[in-house]
Amino acid sequence: MNSVAVIGGGITGLTAAFYLQRRGLRVAVYEASSRIGGAIQSVRQDGYLAECGPNTLLETSPLIGQLLHDAGLTPRRLDPDPRAAARYVVRDRRPLAMPGSVPGFMTTPLFSLAAKFAVLKEPFVAARRDGVEESIAEFVVRRLGREFLDHAIDALVSGIYAGDPARLSVQQAFPKLAQLEATYGSLIRGQILGGRDRKKRGEVAKDRAPKFSFDEGLQVLPDGLGKSLGGAVLLGAAVSRLTKTSAGWRVEYSGRSGTAQAEHQAVVYCGTAFQLAALTIDSPGIPNPAPLSEIRHPPVASLVLGFRREDVAHPCAGFGMLIPGIEKFRILGTIFSSSLFPNRAPAGHVTLTSYIGGERHPELAALPPDELSRITCEDLKVLLGVRGRPTFTHCFFHPKAIPQYNVGYGRYRDLMNDLESSTSGLYLAGHYRDGISLADSIVSGCKVAGRVAQALTPNDGNPPEFSKP
């Protein structure tokens, strides 16, 4: 039986291994840490449920619903409270609801009349056709104006990447925006006309995609996949060397009794870019992955705080709030976790999940939990009218959080392509290559499993995207 090594037990690796196993391939998942799930981690304590990483999953592709079905997790899916649809952006030190319609946009106090006019004239701004790579800041100022960047896009970029819009590449970090301009000459025209093409592909734009979680948090997903994989998952197994052999690949890793080896026909790397940079790969003519260590991964702290309902003046009836840097707060944004889903806080209490650090304030992320709690409470007092001490605190520090698809990131993607093409049986997938969202990582795992299965079992008749029992 063909055997595949999957390096990394995050959601990409677990998805890939799950579908490879369903295609009749023997898999081994090498996870260096003591748990699976990567950035996904849900903690149930004192009646609260804290998400240490992402809080929701966007159903941007039919592959995501298919994964839930195949893993038997659809009954545990939890859709958000429909009353929590509002999203807020802070302006003038108070959260204002983002408009959800053209009339709402025209009347919102989020933007000045001049900024609204700049957006309305966007379809008449000439498209850039010289092929020069732009930062998201340059792109937005050119098409929508400075105010829209400072008071909307900057907050959005911090919420998605914890990044800097002046550094992030529009072509690499927001390729669909760049494609809208390239194809339709306008973002607004592209949103209208491009919807038809997305519908044909079965895709949903991220700003319109249904979001969901599970009854006991997002950890249900990796735990469910891990249960299906059973003994194929090896914890505490840090891979240090890959060696190309005549039959495939030899994997050297740290085991319970020291260094161990295993033989596989193919290797799927689903770890991080900086770990790939440090990995020794012995194969004639393969490029050195060391430059991948240059990719920025700013630190981020996730702070989950519980409060008595009467100690929070704001109704928190929505998804959460994003905070532009121009507002000079220290937190990047806050998710109204207990408004989104039930059983995230005890009765009469609320759960607020805030993020600190990123490219805006990297020096703050590693502060002690007590100091992070103090800083967060000070900001939430101004923004949401929070008073009193938290009734629950959970802090999680991500020293290297989200890969930054900055201007020039294309050279790293070229290196990844060269690593794959220079030798047979090596595949790369994950958030460092195929998009940083949880949905992107799942789709990446599905697709790489299809590619590997097609290469090792080319005549089984199944399409590469979906696994059939």
- 373 alpha carbon, distance to own chain's centre: 24
Would the pLDDT of 202 be above 70? no
| Category of 151 on φ-ψ map: left (φ > 0), alpha (ψ -120 to 50) or beta | alpha
Would the pLDDT of 8 be above 50? yes
Q: Phi, psi (5° rounding) for residue 306?
A: -110, 140
Q: Which residues lie closer than 8 Å to 206 by C-beta, 6 or more apart?
A: 58, 60, 437, 439
Structure tokens at 366: 């590693």
Spatial separation of the C-alpha atoms in residues 350 and 413, rounded to whole Å: 42
Structure confidence by residue, pLDDT tens digits, 219-238: 999 999 999 999 999 999 99
- Write down the pLDDT at residue 208: 76
Q: Give yes or no for a contact between 297 and 274, defined as CB atoms under 8 angstroms apart.
A: yes
Whose CA is closest to 304, among 341, 347, 356?
356
- 321 alpha carbon, distance to own chain's centre: 18
Would the pLDDT of 373 be above 90? yes
Residue with tokens 């592209």: 190
Which domains can be identified in the chain, with CATH numbers? 3-40+220-295+405-456 (3.50.50.60), 111-201 (1.10.3110.10)
Q: How far is CA 469 from CA 69, 70, 241, 380, 400, in A?
A: 12, 8, 33, 49, 37
Spatial separation of the C-alpha atoms in residues 61 and 199, rounded to whole Å: 11
Buried-state track 141-171, b at ≥16 Cβ within 10 A, e below 16: bbbbbebbbbbbbbbbbbbbbbbbbebbbbb
Give one DSSP letter per residue of 383-427, joined into a string: HH-B-S--SEEEEEEESS-----BTTTHHHHHHHHHHHHTSTTEE
Global pTM?
Answer: 0.93
On the CB side of 3, CA atoms within 13 Å amount to: 12
- Write down the pLDDT at residue 83: 87
| Category of 144 on φ-ψ map: left (φ > 0), alpha (ψ -120 to 50) or beta | alpha
Structure confidence by residue, pLDDT tens digits, 296-352: 999 999 999 999 999 999 999 999 999 999 999 999 999 999 999 999 999 999 999
Q: Give yes or no for a contact between 438 and 280, defined as CB atoms under 8 angstroms apart.
A: no
Q: Environment class of residue 458 by beta-carbon count within 10 Å: exposed (0-12), middle (13-18) or buried (19+)?
A: exposed
Would the pLDDT of 466 be above 90? no
Spatial separation of the C-alpha atoms in residues 158 and 90, rounded to whole Å: 13
- Helix H segments across 185-269? 187-201, 220-229
Structure confidence by residue, pLDDT tens digits, 395-444: 999 999 999 999 999 999 999 999 999 999 999 999 999 999 999 999 99
Q: Which residues lie closer than 8 Å to 292 by C-beta, 6 or more apart?
A: 273, 274, 276, 277, 412, 415, 416, 432
